[in-house]
Structure 1
Amino acid sequence: MNENVKVVFGLLGGFALFLYGMNSMSDALQKAAGEKMKKILEILTKNPIMGALAGALVTAVLQSSSATTVMVIGFVSAGLMTLPQGISVIFGANIGTTMTAQLMAFKISDYIYPLIFIGFIINFVCKQEKVKQVGRVIFSFGLLFEGIEIMGSVMKPLATSPIFIDLMGKVKDIPVLGVLLGCVMTLVVQSSSATIAVLQNFASQAGPDGVTSVIGLGGAIPILFGDNIGTTITALLASIGQSKNAKRTAVAHSVFNITGSIVFMFLIPVLSKFVRYISPKGNEVDVISRQIANAHTTFNIVCTLVWLPLIPVMVKIVKFIVRGDDAKEKAVFTAKYLDDKLINQPTAALYLVSEEIKRSASYAAEAFSYLKAAVTAKKDGVAGRKFNEYSEYVKVLQESISTYISKMFSSGNLTELQSEQTAGLLCVSNNIERIAERCDEIDKSYENLKSKGYKLSNEAINEVKECMELSGKLFEEAIEAVATGDDKVIDKMTRDKNKIRKINRQCSKAHFGRVKNKKCSKAMSGDYTEILQNIGRITDNCVGIAEEALDNIKFMTLNAEEMEQYGNVIDFSQAKQVEGTEA
């Protein structure tokens, strides 16, 4: 085989192995540490420093700034994170992603195959999901280093190629060419970590003298800047079709890297001198990989320190670039939080599903409240229309939630624990929809009574009202149980459930007592009994929700300050009541 063809195939094969190992490691890290990642994001406050720290830690764990950036854009789009918060996390993500380059700078050639073997054995033998993912992380880590070794071995002949030496000389003399080269490479590969690893390998090849790097630190830094600019395309693509603030978050990522690169282009000699000072000493080819990693880290830390106090300025810049407001908020009867771009981020997706189920539960509570007003009021027109409106909202949201959860399962990214949580949340959502359906049945029975010219007696209205109030309270407790997992709430539910069933039986007996005493028409018995039975079925659905809580199914929630900020606390006691009189 021709020598040049061997070099090309070796580069492509090594790069493919590296890219596969890196993506596999990132995926395994998300599955093994996804819950911790979510907890880190929960410490976000209005303090930009905390936001940047959260972004850096999450990205260092996930080994992917793109994953963090896409997640943040989804949160901003859903209104769960403010624009300044999102920008601060993006700044931190830029620091976190430099950890990959630092790892690449280690020389672990002698340990690659033991790492691959150990990782394979752990992943193959162990049954526990988290341990298997740890094994996959180790295995993938070994693979990506093997890819680096392959690329390094096939690139050695390039170091003596006159054409290659001439090309590298032009890049060193004209830094803008280096920026363009790095930007194009990252745009093609869609991974700055991958292109920086390739850069580290190229730079580690010795020039004609056998001591100095074929490109040198001064030539590598502009390519590094281009890599940073190119990686922002992922965020820009993720913001397509999102809200204005989501687009602004993505643009902030680009402004951060572009402005930093422009300023540092004039400071390359200063940056090179500083990096050489803080890096290990030795022959350039032996230490340049670490120097490039340190240059990457220095660039992003300095840019973050400069921009953090200027977040208000960044907000003004991105609002100038992305002008106007969203045409209108998403229609109330469509999913507000669910974002398909976060399907492959299980922790973030579960969080958004939880928020949408809470929203569905609040609409179900409104529907139940208006139904109670319609059944027990003398003038039920407005209450009836409002009931139909909110009942329809619940059904539409349930369909969206079910579809979204199906996509989560089909993505194959859920861990065993996340699969259990997702399935449990789907059961909660299904029970909420069934409650809305029971309400429809109650409404239908009540309308049947009216169409036949019957009306409920004062005694019957009071009975239905008492049963519905207790069922509404039980629904509130059921949602609280899933939100908090508090055993005391679940114990209280059990007592209230038994109380409702007892009162329900008493109401049924009282009705037949009225029929026997000729105070009520026998023809009303079917519909009235159906009303009581459906209230009982609502009770069963509430118990079904609580049973999920007993199985440790919980909503993924924001911390207390964020919940207050975004209004995500469902307070059923505030459900609107409609004044009514006997029908």
Structure 2
Amino acid sequence: MSEINWLDIGLQFLGGFGLFLFGMNFMGEGLQKAAGSKMKNLLGILTANRFLGVLVGAGVTALIQSSSATTVMVVGFVNAGLMSLMQAVGVIMGANIGTTITAWIVSLGEWTEFLKPSVLAPIFIAIGVVRLMFAKKDGAKSIGQILLGFGTLFLGLDMMSGAAKPLSTLEEVKTLFTTLGSHPFLGILTGTVVTAIIQSSSASVGILQALALAGLVPWNSAIYIILGQNIGTCVTAILSSIGANINAKRAASIHFLFNLIGSAIFAIIAIIVFRFWLPNIGRTTIRVTEISIVHTVFNILNTLILFPFAGGLVYLAEHLVKGRRGEEKENGLQHLDERILETPSFAIENATKEVVRMGKLAETNVKRSMAALFEKDKEKAHQVFETEKVINELQHGINAYLIKLSNAPLSETEQLVVTGLFHAVSDIERIGDHADNIGELAESAIEKDLKFSDAAQKELQTISKQAIQCLELALDAYATGDYALAKKALPLEEEVDRLESKLRSRHMKRLAENVCDTFSGVVFLDTISNIERISDHAINIAELLLDENKCIALFEE
């Protein structure tokens, strides 16, 4: 028997694992891009009911090829207040089912010679590279990325199984797997530790399948390792919940409890089967497809068993993670969470909501600043200044989030959406500045006890009403993607421009006739100038829907 070169085996196996992991992630990115806005439409389903949550969790995980990523995203949704713990339970259960898709992809090679990794890898890589390099359309490029990822995954699998084959002749390796099969705790611990280190159950199952291809893994050790892998995958979500609010920590705890309870139930069943009922089967070598079957059956049965006890899981999580609602510090950003960046289409949906929320704050501030001026209310002016601080904080927070989002794997359409969000944030921040300016003018008018003539007061009410209506239409259009609403804002902005010019001339005439005093005149002119600029920025937001170059393409699909 030839001597085994451990260095060559180690390097080949690690290189193969690296290609497998890269291919899995690259394929997931391509699937996300191909899904486009259909992914963000799933957000509405998430809020419907727990059963649909299971389906969505499975679907999203099948697309992004990682139950850990889906669960991290769920922690983000709970942290952002977009999902309740009961809704999170369904998605987490579905994520465990969806993660089995990778194992089935790996199993293809056992079904027929043509589907073997060594055959499919070069075909998919070649087609994928050609499509990525020469395709013009987004969709075609995404398919190219999927195929290239698929091929790289198979190439990595082929390298790992090839590296492991010489080990099948070693009695020490066979003894190791026999030991893992004979000691359930050791098998489960091995699966847990390996998965916790690489933070992907799909990848760790891929390693197990590569070893199975080399004929190294018996049934009993495979099952215990798979149970451990399901526990180990919880580490990513638990780490992700550090620094999040109490409910987000509870969501991560639900993921851990779900997998731990399920693994404990099936470990007991496996021990009974392999020790007292079918001991010979436990020692026979498991095939790659059989690993996929075990992995899938475990996750489906675990969901069926624990689904009726979702309330119990929430109850346990609430007692495991102590704390009362409202204890955590309130975050200015309500819809954004970096965990959601794992799935850019969802992150774009939430970023849009946060931008609209910022816009509504600016709209409220415009109304409040005008009320402070008309009613000579100093308290309202101070409220304007405080809200302006919040708007500025939101601008910095949203822009920082959008920068990270723009570096995520986005399609050209999604990149266009993110660019539009940057523009919207800038315009909303400027609207907030002009509201703040009017608040300062109101404060100055109150302190100096300035008075407007009846004509000036009426004119200010007329122009401010037009500008506020223009802003309301622009923000509502942006929030809903309603082109008709956006078009309705255009004539209002034109009317504000016309009024601003007309009122400026009229007021200059009143000043010349000494109908208004000079200080009141300055406040009046500065106010209508700020109102006119508010309508300008409002129409910029509306034009994000109407301008072909800045169009919010997300709403078109």
TM-score by length of 1: 0.87
1:352 maps to which of 340, 350, 353: 350
Conserved in 2, the CA contact under 8 Å of 1:41 and 1:55? no
2:112 aligns with none
User: How far apart are residue 338 of structure 1 and its match?
Assistant: 2.2
Identity %: 35
2:208 aligns with 199
The within-5 A match list for 1:159-238 is 159-206=168-215, 214-238=216-240
**Cα distance in 2, alignment partners of residues 105 and 197 from structure 1:** 10
1:555–1:428 Cα change, 3 Å = farther
Q: Secondary structure at the match of 2:410?
A: coil
Q: Secondary structure at the match of 1:266?
A: helix
Once structures 1 and 2 are overlaid, which stretch shifts more, 451-460 or 310-319? 451-460
User: How far apart are residue 177 of structure 1 and its match?
Assistant: 1.3
Q: Secondary structure at the match of 1:101?
A: helix
**Cα distance in 1, alignment partners of residues 30 and 349 from structure 2:** 19
**Cα distance in 1, alignment partners of residues 48 and 520 from structure 2:** 59
- In structure 1, runs of 5+ residues without a counterpart are 207-213, 277-283, 558-583
**Cα distance in 2, alignment partners of residues 111 and 363 from structure 1:** 55
1:384 aligns with 381
Give a deviation string over 1:387-427, Cα, whole Å, max 9, x none. Answer: 11122221121111112212222x34232211110110111
2:147 maps to which of 118, 138, 150: 138
User: How far apart are residue 24 of structure 1 and its match?
Assistant: 1.6
2:400 paired with 1:398: no
The within-5 A match list for 1:98-497 is 98-107=100-109, 108-109=115-116, 110-206=119-215, 214-268=216-270, 288-328=287-327, 330-331=329-330, 334-377=332-375, 379-409=376-406, 411-449=407-445, 454-497=450-493
2:21 paired with 1:43: no
Conserved in 1, the CA contact under 8 Å of 2:19 and 2:156? yes
Conserved in 2, the CA contact under 8 Å of 1:54 and 1:89? yes
Q: Secondary structure at the match of 1:463?
A: helix
Conserved in 1, the CA contact under 8 Å of 2:78 and 2:88? yes
**Cα distance in 2, alignment partners of residues 327 and 491 from structure 1:** 42
Q: Secondary structure at the match of 1:105?
A: helix
User: How far apart are residue 119 of structure 1 and its match?
Assistant: 0.8
Conserved in 1, the CA contact under 8 Å of 2:378 and 2:443? no
- In structure 2, runs of 5+ residues without a counterpart are 110-114, 279-283
Q: Secondary structure at the match of 1:414?
A: coil
User: How far apart are residue 44 of structure 1 and its match?
Assistant: 2.2
Give, as a single letter, the amino acid of the residue that structure 2 aligns with 1:345. T
User: How far apart are residue 121 of structure 1 and its match?
Assistant: 0.8
Once structures 1 and 2 are overlaid, which stretch shifts more, 457-466 or 173-182? 457-466
**Cα distance in 1, alignment partners of residues 505 and 273 from structure 2:** 87
Conserved in 2, the CA contact under 8 Å of 1:354 and 1:555? no
User: How far apart are residue 33 of structure 1 and its match?
Assistant: 2.1
Conserved in 1, the CA contact under 8 Å of 2:356 and 2:478? no
1:548 aligns with 544
Give, as a single letter, the amino acid of the residue that structure 2 aligns with 1:92. G
**Cα distance in 1, alignment partners of residues 371 and 554 from structure 2:** 33
Give, as a single letter, the amino acid of the residue that structure 2 aligns with 1:95. I
Give a deviation string over 1:134-174, Cα, whole Å, max 9, x none. Answer: 21110111111111111112211211101111111111211
2:498 paired with 1:502: yes
Give, as a single letter, the amino acid of the residue that structure 1 aligns with 2:423. C
2:281 aligns with none
Instruction: State the Cα RMSD in Å.
Output: 2.3
Q: Secondary structure at the match of 1:79?
A: coil
**Cα distance in 2, alignment partners of residues 18 and 487 from structure 1:** 45
Give a deviation string over 1:340-390, Cα, whole Å, max 9, x none. Answer: 23334322221221222122112112211111111111x412111111112
Conserved in 2, the CA contact under 8 Å of 1:76 and 1:82? yes
Give, as a single letter, the amino acid of the residue that structure 2 aligns with 1:161. L
1:52–1:344 Cα change, 3 Å = closer
User: How far apart are residue 518 of structure 1 and its match?
Assistant: 2.5
User: How far apart are residue 34 of structure 1 and its match?
Assistant: 4.3
**Cα distance in 1, alignment partners of residues 442 and 240 from structure 2:** 49
Give, as a single letter, the amino acid of the residue that structure 2 aligns with 1:38. K
**Cα distance in 1, alignment partners of residues 17 and 487 from structure 2:** 58
Give a deviation string over 1:182-228, Cα, whole Å, max 9, x none. Answer: 1111112111111111111222333xxxxxxx432222111110111
